[in-house]
Structure 1
């Protein structure tokens, strides 16, 4: 223990302060009464004394003099830092360097202390030199470097670099594209959250919508239109907005953060980025290309303009320069393409879009650059010689590739010449705007001229074309067909006569011009053939008619046909001329009966019986009828094993002896249904004596772990021969474990799906008992233990490891193999022992 009154300087300060060292090495300062000191001398030391007493808990570390570093938070007032212990002959300490009137040391005790507050913003590091001195003031140890690092505390609010900000935004600006920035600073340590700033919009005046029209990047302070703002900003409705923007330090993560605010006044201006009106370009321009056709302006400076094709063309005949000027690069042809659509876009230097794409629409305007074109090289028109004046006899069709419904494609028609010019040169007239040809008078006469050639001038406002028209004068249909016979009497045919057989040739003549519709004859059954049993074909050169059988004859249905045949022309008769009895003829057909064999009601009779049924069991009944109505008798043919018998009257077939499918895999007989002529029909039979079984190359598997929804296809088969498709019924064995884990669903007659009911299966082989029934009479059943693998799968969805099978008894083949292996081992051992014994005997 030592007392402060033992110190020499300053004695008045220490005589009332004593220091005790406790067991743990800490110092305890005892504060006494200092009232006897003079006020002038006492004040600074009294303050320190009181501070020392009040901050007694801060002095907890002492140690020898050496180089040391201290980190001390800024502010906080008078505090102890450290106490250096003296080693004889040292009796005091001295501190020099960057004390700045704040840091000092008590010479006699070595206590390093603060007599004021540190300030990080003023000085972040203080570097001192401390040394110990002897009684004469000579250096004993040191100087040693003591560095005090001032720790920053959040004691400065952020400050904007402007009191008020102003900015300009264009209507329809792209959302998220900044148009201005705000900036704030914080005097605190930038490496700490104290100076990490976060920006936000506090108020938005006015705010006519539910969402703000502007947004701010909370880190960079960039202000841009929101998605709503990009759509709704309109200077015609509101051209000025005021935003109250705040900035918070501590990264905005605590309520104790300092906050500052500033006003941002934003002016909305009309968008420069607008699509031009529809651009119209005249086709086949003779100007020097490229030609300036329009210009666009971005809302942002220094953008890169580009064209984006809407249509996939081999080459787009448009370009744009970096001033937004749009050019057409070559003459356009409206007849090849009359409209174009593309987009103009702006990008920044990173390739990102700046503005919304503008849709550009170009219409190619027509000029009269196409002559009229005749639809046909020669237009042929037929007109009857009795056509009256003003009759429309046909239309000349011509086209123009210029734009429809414009003067460029308006066509006019005019007859230039008529050859021959008889009986007059103006027999024909053509309507100027429609191309419809008309007769000017009733003057056509085939005997004077059978053909006329016309040259028709077709013109638009610039071009002319000559089209050729040929007018054929055809004879009028003023003669009716006349049969050479009014009655062809009758013909007798058998009902078995094949369809297509000609049974009669008929002939009528027509006095009109040969080879025309006025003279061609069409023969038809006018009466007596309601079912079209017969048909008449005409030879186009001779007009001879051939009556053919069109449908099978049936004596029982119709034994006699009384036919009335008429002859007509495809061309209408002229007014005043009518068909009469001369164009009619009579014809009678007698059909004779042919004895037809009985006919079975079915083409094949199918039956299925078990091979172990008793003798005299009814297998099936066959039935036939005779077209003539005669009695049908039944018999069997080919029953070599005498297994069947048939009732000759009823057609009922019975077993005559025991059946055995193993003796005859397919037992076929013929059932004969006979009238006086006789006939037969084959009746196939198969005995169903084999139960169904699974027909699968490999057992089903599911990939582990199951995800739900899996299913495996299983198939059944039957060794029995069947004359129709086999049908099987699938089910699961009626036990709780099987029904809780598996389900089966039918796919078709031979297939079904097996599905797990849940996904909680282990990796192993499961035996699933499946029951299969066939459709035999009686049906047979087989129960199969279906092995289902639950296994890990490869990427190809197949098992890549052999799944460990459950323990079970070996199959018959496995048992034989095991027995053979055991006998082989026993035999080898026996031979070895025998040889060894013989060897010993020899020795």
Structure 2
């Protein structure tokens, strides 16, 4: 059938075009005949774009709508380009050739754009059509053979060979057909009189005019000519040219004179009087746009010309005499409208991928844009740019298509949203501009770890505090947002003095607020210093963390009564010296031998050797103690000392205590003394007199200082970012540790405490919060207390801890 023949031709043409494209390596182009059935495969789009099997659906291969009803679609499964609805070339492109549709194809993950050109080819689906089915002509019988009478030709909506028309006339001995030219605009069709007419013989001639196009098979259209033979006025007006060509700028003022027509009639009298008028076949649009002066033949503008709407007009004009019957001459006015720069560029956003992650790489496509200008030539050439230029830029992907890409790295913590404006300017004079604003949000990624306000927190707490008491408040800042900036706190396990128990058995930190709590009452005799780390972790993926070191110093209270002679009696003091500084010189002492429940113990930081229980005969006359001293360095270094203790009766013990003999070395030491009773008694009396004088003087000074500081608020917890100074002392001897220098203290013999720690901070103003309101931070009076605590420890416990 005819349709099958068309389909075969179309398939062959598609294959030829696709093969030509593959060889040329250029833009993707397809061709499809009009009127193709829905479902007809136009081309293997996914394969031609280089996508693998099944990748078209996974990467969402799709067409971008261009504002017109879509007649083609992309198959999600196969990635083929299919006809989805009826394609009518005449409806899409009219008489324009070739009829090419530009399609934009998007592929996501990653986002890419391709341009496909689809040519809709013409088939001979439109027969020639005359404007009327019957046309009446009046021809004077006086017309001479050879006279020519113009006829209006047929119109064919097709193009090319399918629109090339040929005409035939039904057989007649009086008339023949004259057809000149092939162009619709310049073709001339006329009826030639071949034999003189005789109205009395044949008053009316009826002929059939047939128009045939050049398609295969050819289609035809017919019109009946009714020719009336008139008497008398036998000369029709004649124009001085058959076609008038006029050019005019669009937007010209109303009333502008376009052309003046001129026709002549050789008759005389009324038969030579001519009037000018539009042909009866002229369209309504022409009558609305133009006007003609009947007497002068002047055609003027009475409507607004728009090049973008219609770029040319064909105006058939008739010159008619006033004879009876009147005769007419015909001509055609071809008006070409010239473009002016009256349309600003237009910018459309065809795709926008927001928000953009702040870690997006340079070159990431943020948006796809389409820019067009309805003007032509230089007036329609557009250049585009982005304002402000940073951090985005434009890249041209195709004629009129651009990609907004990332040119610089983003930082959401610095700028979380950008207002971008795409500007376009044409090449007209003066140039016209268009713009389109975009809002590009930046999404957060977890690229900032929590950071504490200070690296080291120093906290002072009195022993015997209540379980659940707040010791300090820690805070870490994370500039990220949402979960990436939500911080949780936890205690990171560290060592404690004496038994290396975990820090989590003493303190706890609230996961949300960062408040540091005491899990149990602190005992200075068990724990003097607790150092651990608090870790802050955000909720990002992956999570980031930050650490802060907490140094918790336990302040001693007078909560232990003096021991009777059964336990707690100081036997000797071991002292070691470390040439390092800082934590590398902070020493701790441990009793290595004998282990278990021996009769002696050693102070962790003081080095004092004292009785742990009442001595028994089973303990033997001599005890050999092996003491290990370690620093806090990484790695820790150690030394050992051996102490020999001789057990004597009560009377001998008094003499031994008065003499106070002990020795130590890095390898081995022995302790023992023998002294006469008279020498011991004399030495004891001297020291008693000195001690009484010193204690009396210090007591008077303490009373004065206490009165000055009585109303000062107390400090339960001290914390702050100032420099750390730690001093440890004992009755037998003293040593000190500081970040900047060392100092020595001398304390009277016989003190009841085995250890002393003083912290002298230098704090900035306290931060706001409940702790500050409750007076938990250091002020001037508290500094005074610390000073008093350092120099007069015994009276400090009495006045400041037991005053109430």
Same fold by TM-score greater than 0.5: no
In our comparison, the structure showing a higher alpha carbon Rg is 1
Which band: TM-score by shorter chain?
Answer: under 0.3
> Which structure has the highest helix share of the two?
2
TM-score by length of 1: 0.24
Relative contact order (C-alpha < 8 Å, sep 6+): which is higher?
2
The alignment's TM-score, normalised by the length of structure 2, stands at 0.25
